């Protein structure tokens, strides 16, 4: 055993040296912040180094995926700053650059790969946590709002509902997701068939660029403004806030959920759904959530079955919905008893599985929804049931989200999000686990490969907000090649990838804003 010590010694010294080095850099960084602040007390009150007793709590608060809850030190930030105003964000950018630190910007912390707060490499970086930058200002007269990027979509929805019952915004379903990440990658929810993506409804933005300047739509120019609405904000700068266009919803909407198991002809009904859901009226959104459950009617020995839950929002009343369903989708057997009428904000609660009578203010609770360990893949289907039946009930999920409607009317190049006409629906597969991580990861990779023949290929497309490092990563220490980055870049952005590369080259030629799957700056 003793023989190991001499050979380990240089490595230990190297690690010690490197950790001292990054410590020195972070001390310089903190001093830089204090030097440039006009009030050094206020900046030091929002700066956390690893020796600070609050560091871990601040880091953990917005880690929403338990897969990344226990990070090795080499993946953690050397400093966390939680700015309270725009000037402090500029200072973080200016001082990080000056002292050779990279930046990760975090809003809601839902990134599937945790890229907003960790690195897969051992680079030194500052975590710029936008948690205190989260006000929402609704201008009802103009049907617009400015929403700061650290707000959650629940905070946004709640603020809108406090000013009007007939205005809304087409963003996501899970109320704890951050506006910073969701909108900069596209952002879809139950209103997408009527109004498109969240990013389709952004009309201005404020951001801090690589030079520490604050830009708006006019001063950043249309190319950069195009790129940050779906191309992922973290390749281009720090988004401070979005100006969004509010959309109209009726004072009363209708929701329903209908369950069908395999024994109740779920497969046959799903088949019909595939042609109906993307083409039916824009006012009607019927998503499907599939899970493996135990059922006493199952014909299998282990009593497992697949249950499909058809979850729907209709922008209108029951009396209009029922005849529409009778004509277009009678196989589902929808009855008046399955339906509930409510306000739009109550429907948000309903799809969050909260009691419809709950106060909408719960949507502002940033820890309302549970954290879990998950890995997900997306694709734009058949026979996946057997694979789901092979795992424990409740540990896998398939979500089928129909597109069509407004989604197909917008061109593929309008914003970087390219999955428009021709994409009938998106498939999202998720796996959750408490125990064997490797087994769960193997399962989902296996399922992804299994789906190959059934989904859009060449290249197989994916949604950047469901990012997946299995597709490949950049070289974080040095330059990344266009060929390498286009492997995942073309899946996320198709032909828009090249334009993103050009915008990146002009906005951030030194590649300061970078991460495992950021857009590389290359002159094309």
Ligand X SMILES: Cc1cc2nc3c(=O)[nH]c(=O)nc-3n(C[C@H](O)[C@H](O)[C@H](O)COP(=O)(O)OP(=O)(O)OC[C@H]3O[C@@H](n4cnc5c(N)ncnc54)[C@H](O)[C@@H]3O)c2cc1C
Contacting positions for ligand NAG (CB under 6 A): 15, 18, 36-39, 41-42, 44-45, 47-48, 52-54, 87, 90-91, 94, 121-122, 141-142, 211-213, 216, 218-219, 265, 268-269, 271-272, 296, 331, 365, 367-368, 477
Q: Which residues in the 134-163 window bind ligand X by CB under 6 A? A: 149
Q: Which helix (H) or strand (E) holds 466?
A: none
Which run of H or E residues covers position 407?
A: helix 406-409
Shortest Cβ 43–ligand NAG spacing (Å): 9
CA distance 260 to 289: 11
Question: Which CA distances in Å does 143 have to 21, 34, 90, 168, 246?
Answer: 51, 40, 30, 10, 5
Residue located via tokens 């597709």: 471
**Residue 97, binding choice from ligand X, ligand NAG, none, Cβ under 5 to 8 Å by partner class:** none
Q: Binders of ligand X among 301-340, rule CB under 6 A?
A: none
Residue 131 · residue 61 · CB < 8 Å: yes
Among 26, 201, 234, 396, binds ligand X (CB under 6 A): 234
Q: Which of the ranges 76-84, 171-179, 431-439, 493-501 carries the binding residues for ligand X, by CB under 6 A?
A: 171-179
Handedness of CA 257, 260, 261, 267 (dihedral sign): negative
Q: Which residues are catalytic?
A: 466
CB of residue 325 to ligand NAG, shortest distance in Å:
13
Contact positions with ligand X (CB under 6 A) in 451-470: 465
Q: Is residue 174 at the binding interface for ligand X, with CB under 6 A as the rule? A: yes
106 binds ligand X (CB under 6 A): yes
Residue 205 binds ligand X, judged by CB under 6 A: no
Q: In angstroms, what CA-CA distances link 384 with 47, 335, 357, 454, 456?
A: 48, 29, 37, 10, 16
Beta bridge partners of 105: 128
Nearer to ligand X, 47 or 234 (CB): 234
In the shown chain, the binding pattern of residues 42 to 71 toward ligand X, with x for contact by CB under 6 A and - for none, equals: ----------------------x-------
The answer to whether 147 and 129 have CB atoms below 8 angstroms apart is no
The site partner of 443 among ligand X, ligand NAG, none (C-beta below 5 to 8 Å per kind) is none
Tally of CA atoms within 13 A in the half-sphere of 82 that contains its CB:
17
Q: Which residue is nearest to ligand NAG (CB)?
A: 268
Enclosing H/E stretch for 254:
strand 253-261
Distance of alpha carbon 72 from alpha carbon 166, whole angstroms: 48
| 170 contact, one of ligand NAG, ligand X, none, CB 5-8 Å limit per kind | none
Between residue 85 and residue 104, which ones bind ligand X under the rule CB under 6 A?
Answer: 104
Find all residues with CB under 8 Å of 97, minimum gap 6, and list them: 210, 212, 512
Number of residues engaging ligand X in binding (CB under 6 A): 33
Report in angstroms the alpha-carbon separations of 17 from 8, 13, 30, 49, 52: 14, 6, 20, 18, 21
Widest CA span of the chain, in angstroms? Answer: 82
Q: How far is CA 373 from CA 56, 291, 376, 412, in A?
A: 19, 17, 10, 33
Q: How many residues does the chain have?
A: 524
Which partner in ligand X, ligand NAG, none is near 149 (CB below 5 to 8 A by kind)? Answer: ligand X
Binding mask 239-278 for ligand X (x = CB under 6 A): x---------------------------------------
Applying CB under 6 A, does 172 fall inside the site for ligand X?
yes
Residue number with CB closer to ligand X (385 or 468): 468
| Residue number with CB closer to ligand NAG (214 or 318) | 214
> CB-wise, 330 or 422, nearer to ligand NAG?
330
Residue 174 beta carbon to ligand X: minimum distance, rounded to whole angstroms: 3
Interface with ligand X includes 189 (CB under 6 A)?
Answer: yes
Is residue 115 within the footprint of ligand X (CB under 6 A)? Answer: yes
Q: Is 423 in the site for ligand X (CB under 6 A)?
A: no
Residue 302, judged by CB atoms within 10 A of its CB (0-12, 13-18, 19+), counts as exposed
SS3 302: coil
Q: How far is the CB of 150 from ligand NAG (least distance, A)?
A: 17
Q: Which is nearer to ligand X, 149 or 328 (CB)?
A: 149
Q: How far is CA 474 from CA 314, 452, 515, in A?
A: 43, 25, 7
- Alpha helix locations (H) across 125-170? 153-163
Q: Is 170 in the site for ligand X (CB under 6 A)?
A: no
Give residues in contact with ligand X (CB under 6 A).
64, 104-112, 115-116, 130, 149, 172-174, 177-178, 180-182, 184-189, 233-234, 238-239, 465
């Amino acid at each position: 055993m003793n023989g190991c010590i001499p050979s380990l010694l240089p490595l230990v010294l190297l690690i010690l040296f490197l950790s001292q080095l990054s410590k020195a850099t972070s001390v310089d960084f903190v001093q830089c912040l204090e030097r440039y602040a006009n009030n050094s007390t206020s900046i030091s009150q929002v700066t956390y180094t690893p020796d600070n007793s609050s560091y871990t709590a601040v880091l953990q608060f917005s880690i929403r995926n338990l897969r990344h809850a226990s990070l090795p030190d080499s993946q953690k930030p050397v400093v966390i700053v939680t700015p309270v105003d725009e000037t402090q964000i500029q200072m973080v950018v200016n001082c990080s650059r000056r002292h050779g630190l990279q930046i990760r910007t975090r809003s809601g912390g839902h990134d599937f790969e945790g890229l907003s707060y960790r690195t897969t490499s051992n680079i030194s970086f500052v975590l710029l946590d936008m948690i205190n930058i989260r006000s929402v200002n609704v201008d009802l007269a103009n049907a617009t709002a400015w929403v700061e990027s650290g707000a959650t979509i629940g905070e946004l929805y709640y603020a809108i509902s406090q000013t009007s019952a007939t205005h809304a915004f087409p963003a996501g379903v899970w109320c704890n997701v951050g506006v910073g990440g969701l909108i900069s990658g596209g952002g879809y929810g139950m209103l997408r068939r009527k109004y498109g993506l969240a990013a389709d409804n952004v009309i201005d933005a404020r951001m801090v660029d690589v030079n520490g300047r604050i830009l708006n739509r006019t001063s950043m120019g249309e190319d950069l403004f195009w790129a940050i609405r779906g191309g992922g904000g973290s390749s281009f700068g720090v988004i401070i806030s979005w100006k969004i266009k509010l959309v109209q919803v009726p004072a009363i909407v209708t929701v329903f959920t209908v369950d069908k198991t395999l024994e109740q002809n779920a497969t046959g009904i799903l088949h019909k759904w595939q042609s109906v859901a993307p083409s039916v009226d824009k006012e009607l959104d019927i998503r499907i959530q599939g899970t493996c459950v135990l059922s006493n009617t199952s014909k299998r020995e282990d009593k497992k079955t697949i249950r499909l839950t058809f979850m729907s929002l209709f922008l209108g009343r029951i009396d209009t919905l029922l005849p529409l369903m009778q004509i277009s989708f009678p196989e589902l057997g929808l009855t008046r008893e399955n339906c509930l009428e409510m306000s739009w904000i109550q429907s948000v609660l309903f799809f969050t599985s909260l009691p419809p009578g709950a106060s909408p203010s719960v949507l502002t609770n940033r820890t309302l929804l549970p954290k879990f360990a998950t890995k997900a893949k997306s694709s734009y289907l058949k026979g996946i049931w057997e694979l789901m039946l092979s795992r424990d009930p409740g540990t896998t999920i398939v979500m089928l989200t129909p597109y069509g409607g407004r989604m197909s009317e917008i061109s593929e190049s309008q914003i970087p999000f390219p999955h428009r006409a021709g994409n009938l629906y998106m498939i999202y597969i998720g796996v959750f686990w408490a125990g064997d991580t490797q087994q769960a990861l193997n399962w989902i990779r296996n399922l992804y490969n299994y789906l190959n023949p059934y989904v859009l290929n060449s290249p197989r497309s994916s949604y950047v907000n469901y990012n997946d490092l299995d597709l490949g990563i950049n070289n974080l220490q040095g330059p990344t090649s266009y060929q390498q980055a286009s492997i995942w870049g073309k899946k996320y952005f198709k032909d828009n990838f090249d334009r993103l590369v050009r915008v990146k080259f002009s906005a951030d030629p030194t590649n300061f804003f970078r991460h495992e799957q950021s857009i590389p700056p290359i002159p094309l």
